[in-house]
């Protein structure tokens, strides 16, 4: 299976994460190693992260992918700030405006993710060290490949369209379910 050449080796929280006061913590010290190969931009980690709107959704994300910052816990305020910042950068990178895409590249220059080359057979793989590093690399891929950022007209969920995704560049709904819900709502109004 072809990939985009990005890979993350990390640890999930198999027993889950919980919000303890103002801090997300692992429920137990157990960790489960996993490897994530970025094959396309259909459902990138950065979009999954910014779409975690509630604390319960953030807990589920953290259980599946661990703490994005590489720490052993994650302040809720930091999670909210990171989500807002990553959404801003992703929206700029996925803009139709070349000025905004250029601005996204300038913002990405401020952050230098830890990336290490690895010759995997005959293909160069870039190994990123944390989920946060991977999210910044995904944003760079969005800007580089003319991928567009969109928000579903029905539910507001963020998604990407165009090259490296399975969606047409003019898609306005995140899923067939939302497209059908919008159709039913229009028909009910008529």
Instruction: Please tell me which residue, 51 or 121, carries the higher pLDDT value.
Output: 51
| Predicted pLDDT of residue 170 | 85
Task: Kindly list the domain boundaries of the chain, sorted by start residue.
Answer: 6-147
pLDDT band of 108, cuts 50, 70, 90: confident
| Predicted pLDDT of residue 169 | 85
Q: What is the DSSP string of 127-153?
A: EESSHHHHHHHHHHHHHHTT-EEEE-T
CA atoms 130, 33, 120, 3: torsion sign:
negative
Least confident of 27-31, 100-104, 118-122: 118-122
Mean pLDDT over 116-142 rounds to 80
Q: Is the pLDDT of residue 113 over 90?
A: no
Least confident of 94-103, 110-119, 152-161: 110-119
Question: CB under 8 Å to 104, separation ≥6 — which residues?
Answer: 89, 92, 93, 95, 139, 143
pLDDT in tens, 47-105: 999 999 999 999 999 999 999 988 899 999 999 999 999 999 999 999 999 899 888 88
Q: Is the pLDDT of residue 1 over 60?
A: no
- In sequence order, the β-bridge partners of residue 75 are 23
- Tell me which H or E stretch contains 166: none
101's tokens: 């895409």
Matching residue, tokens 């160069």: 124
If phi > 0 it is left, if psi is from -120 to 50 it is alpha, else beta; for residue 21 that is left
């Amino acid at each position: 299976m072809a990939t985009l050449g990005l890979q993350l080796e990390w640890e999930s929280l198999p027993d889950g994460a919980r919000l303890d006061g103002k801090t997300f913590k692992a429920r137990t010290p157990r960790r489960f190693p996993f490897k994530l190969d970025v094959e396309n931009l259909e459902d990138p980690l950065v979009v999954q992260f910014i779409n975690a709107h509630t604390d319960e959704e953030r807990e589920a994300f953290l259980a599946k992918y661990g703490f994005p910052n590489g720490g052993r816990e994650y302040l809720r305020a930091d999670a909210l700030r990171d989500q807002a910042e990553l959404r801003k950068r992703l929206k700029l990178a996925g803009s139709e405006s070349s000025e905004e895409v250029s601005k996204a590249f300038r913002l990405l220059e401020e952050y230098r993710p830890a990336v290490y080359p690895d010759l995997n057979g005959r293909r160069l793989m870039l190994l990123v060290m944390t989920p946060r590093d991977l999210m910044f690399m995904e944003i760079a891929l969005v800007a580089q490949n003319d991928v567009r950022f969109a928000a579903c007209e029905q539910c507001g969920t963020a998604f990407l369209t165009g090259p490296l995704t399975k969606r047409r560049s003019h898609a306005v709904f995140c899923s067939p379910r939302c497209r059908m819900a919008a159709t039913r709502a229009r028909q009910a109004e008529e």
